[in-house]
Structure 1
Amino acid sequence: MIVSQYIRVAIISLIASLFLVPLCMRLAFKFDILDHPKSRKIHKQPMPKLGGMAMYMAFVIGTLSSFDYNTQLRGILIGASIIMFIGVIDDMRHLRASLRLFFQLVACIVVVAHGVVIKVFPWDAANVFFTVAGIVGITNALNFLDNMDGLAGGIAAICCFGIAAIAYKTGQRWLVFLSISLLGSTLGFLRYNFNPAKVFMGDSGSTFLGFVISSMAIMASWSESKLIAVTIPVLMLGVMIFDTSMITVLRIAEGKVRTFRQWLEHADTDHLSHRLTHMGLSQRETVMFIYIINFVLVCIAISIPKDGIKSAILVSSGFILFFIWGIWKLHQVKMRQHHMAKQRK
């Protein structure tokens, strides 16, 4: 009976998304909410960027159809609405980074006030601080990762699958409804966004997805062990964490970013996805390769509660080593390309 309810919610959000995305595409063309081609852009013609609004509406419809509400869920819905509101305005007229950050912090305060907060440290202030930092970080990390057709949406869908799987195993009913509703709405959007894309999610869509996924990851009861409780979401969000950490470290080292505002606003072609295409992969191959990496990390995360703390320590250590090696390797690729470009001149 409960499984059929989960399936119903997923189908409702999927169908709603499939219907709403074309509608939002028409609205985007009508009101000129378009992403125009630029030097660092991959697309060659103006693209509607209200796909995020369609995902948001489908997500709300699917979630409310579950009739399984609690305080945390209400907080996430309110916070997501704030993120979507400011995101759509940002898509229409580019807002200052400080203003976007302000509304992200307001949304974080809303979810924290509704009980969405980590419980890792013995001090409430530390728990609140790292909750806000985590949500803001992942919200912007997925936004940064939205640089190729289908990439951010696919990563979000895989993360939702992982959250839903563990939530189902651990009996967190409301979290299953929330994650599969977001999964359905994201899959519906991907029907129009996978290469070659007909629509973009816009900053409104990527920040909305990042906000909801990070809120779910923080609120979920992953394990009684604090180490495992931290390891599981870090693995599931591993691609986002890796990409954002990599570009942050390298941009600071290269002097491209000096302030938090610059970190939010700086746009470049130095992300994991761009570096993979520079190595010879096509856009589709790059996106599928990153999908596979994220899916493997999610599968490892799903297996950890059963395997215990030793597995968590081993996987955490491996992830850190892989992260360090990956930054070094991709930096080598960047330097080699720069050297070859200088030789051609």
Structure 2
Amino acid sequence: MNDINTYLIVFAGVLFLALGSTPLARKWGLGAGIVDQPDPARKIHVRPTPRVGGVAIFLSTLIAALLLRGAYRELTGILVGAALMSSLGLWDDRFSLRPGLKLLGQLVATGLLLVAGIQVRVFPWQAVNLAVTVLWVVGITNAMNLLDNMDGLSGGIAAIAAAHFSLMCAFSGQYLVGALSVAVMAACLGFLVYNWNPATIFMGDSGSLFLGFTLAALGIKLRFPDNVPFVTWMIPLLVMGVPILDTTLVTVSRLRRGLNPLTTPGRDHISHRLTYAGLTRREAVLVLYIAGFVLGLLAIFVTQASLSEGYIVGGLTLLSGLYILWRLERPPFWPPPEGVWGEGVQDDRSSGRQGPLDST
């Protein structure tokens, strides 16, 4: 069986599992009390909504991954680390964890990748490669967690990122990364049927931490030996550009306002700012989908780019990102309109969103 047939079977199987298991997870979440309660002062949804969709995403992906042949040691490292992240997120959704414990769990999961031999290999100094690996995995994990701030957003961006990873792997013969990417994409698409606005189930930390960790690991595993390391590493940076930009925006914005970017809740993400400019929540999510798709196409181009072309794409992307950050800090995107809610907002002091390491 060739890789394309394998990908199709994995996609169909995981999609079926996710479509079937998400309603079961919803029922279980309601019974177990793992729900996001309505709060007219802070939140938009009007009925208790389970936040256990990540369990369905994780289990659907896990079942497919266990059936894959390939690099057993590396696959084990990814799966065990991903299981730890999903379990950590579920525990946080149910009981709340202190920020330090969440960070410790993320570091342990990253350590499992390192033990399995999955690490950044860009610099001639091993210590620098290890440090960048930890920064990348923990950073992307929390970026996806932060991005989970609007119905359909985090799951859709994860599906788009995984789709681009799988396309690049199909053309370059990277079986393990490709098959896992297809599984993640299918699991997210199955979940999105129930998470699209108005959502009947939320992903929760069990999903966002799992997806962030897994996509970070897959990004490290991408290999394009004909390209220099700088160009190769532009590829996952571009694919994960939306969560990276969103995290950069809220970090810079909160620091500028004298707030702690890690523990301060706030409706100051890109998606919220688009609604302040007049878009509906669905439209805001679709705009970010398009951005993720365009960045993914750029990443595919970079797989065949020369060093000079890579520098040009990287430079233009960086300048565009800086301009977007500057523009989103100004009207009509910020500050939020006075007293607006519904399709909009409240400020940091009254928001229900948490920081990436916050549990209160």
The residue aligned with 1:131 is: 133
Quote how far apart the aligned CAs of 1:11 are: 1.1
Whether the 8 Å CA contact 1:83–1:107 is kept in 2: the answer is yes
Q: 1:336 to 1:12 in 2, by over 3 A?
A: closer
- Contact 2:77–2:113 (Cα < 8 Å) also in 1: yes
Alignment partners' CA distance in 1, 2:334 and 2:20: 46
Deviation of the 1:220 alpha carbon = 1.4
Conservation of the 8 A alpha-carbon contact between 2:277 and 2:333: no
Q: What is the match of residue 19 of structure 1? A: 20
Q: Secondary structure at the match of 1:95?
A: coil
- Give the alignment of 1:59-208 within 5 angstroms: 59-208=61-210
How far off its partner does 1:196 sit?
1.2
* 1:287 alignment partner AA: V
Contact kept? 2:194, 2:200, Cα under 8 Å: yes
> Quick one: which of 210, 215, 223 aligns to 1:221?
223
**By how many angstroms is 1:177 displaced?**
0.9
Match in the other structure for 1:311: 309
Match for 1:247 among 239, 247, 250?
250
Q: Secondary structure at the match of 2:70?
A: coil
Structure 2: distance between partners of 1:339 and 1:48? 30
Q: Provide the secondary structure at the position in 2 that maps to 1:307.
A: coil
Query: Which amino acid counterpart does residue 96 of structure 2 have in structure 1?
Result: H
**TM-score (normalizing by structure 2):** 0.90
Which letter maps to 1:227? Answer: F
Mapped partners of 1:109, 1:247: distance in 2: 27
Moved more, 219-228 or 42-51: 219-228
Asked whether 1:232 is paired with 2:230, we answer no
CA contact (8 A) 2:38 2:45 kept: yes
Q: Secondary structure at the match of 2:146?
A: helix
Q: Distance in 2 between matches of 1:71 and 1:336?
A: 47
Contact 2:157–2:289 at 8 Å: present in 1 too?
A: yes
Deviation at 1:161, TM superposition (A): 0.6
Which 5+ residue runs of structure 2 have no aligned equivalent? 340-360
Q: 1:54 pairs with 53, 56, 71, which one?
A: 56
Matches within 5 A, 1:323-342: 323-333=321-331, 337=335
Deviations 1:115-174 (CA, angstroms, capped at 9, x unpaired): 110101111111111101110001000110101110000000000011111111111111
Taking the TM superposition and a 5 Å limit, the aligned residue runs for 1:284-303 are: 284-303=282-301
The answer on whether the counterparts of 1:158 and 1:295 sit within 8 Å (CA) in structure 2 is yes
- Equivalent residue letter for 1:50: V
1:199/1:138 Cα in 2 relative to 1: closer, same or farther (>3 Å)? same
What TM-score does the superposition give when structure 1 sets the normalisation length? 0.94
**C-alpha offsets along residues 289-320 of structure 1, whole Å, 9 cap, x if unaligned?**
10001100001101112232222111111111
The answer (yes or no) to whether the contact 1:247–1:271 under 8 Å persists in 2 is: yes
**1:340 to partner: Cα distance:** 6.4
Cα drift, residue 29 of structure 1? 0.5
Q: CA RMSD in A?
A: 1.5
| 1:260 counterpart residue number | none
Kept in 2, the 8 Å contact 1:222–1:232? The answer is no
Aligned twin of 1:28: 29
Aligned equivalents of 1:327, 1:82: Cα separation in 2? 33
CA deviation string 1:210-239 (max 9, x = no partner): 000011101211343111112111110101
Residue 250 of structure 1: how far off its partner (Å): 1.1
Separation in structure 1 between the aligned mates of residue 236 and residue 314 of structure 2, nearest angstrom = 11
Query: Structure 1 residue runs of 4+, over 3 Å off?
Result: 334-341
270-279 or 305-314, which deviates more: 305-314
Deviation at 1:69?
Answer: 4.3
Task: Indicate the residue corresponding to 1:277 in structure 2.
Answer: 275
1:246 shift after superposition: 1.0
Contact 1:10 / 1:62 at 8 angstroms: preserved in 2? no
How many positions carry a matched residue from both structures? 336
Identity between Structure 1 and Structure 2 (%):
38
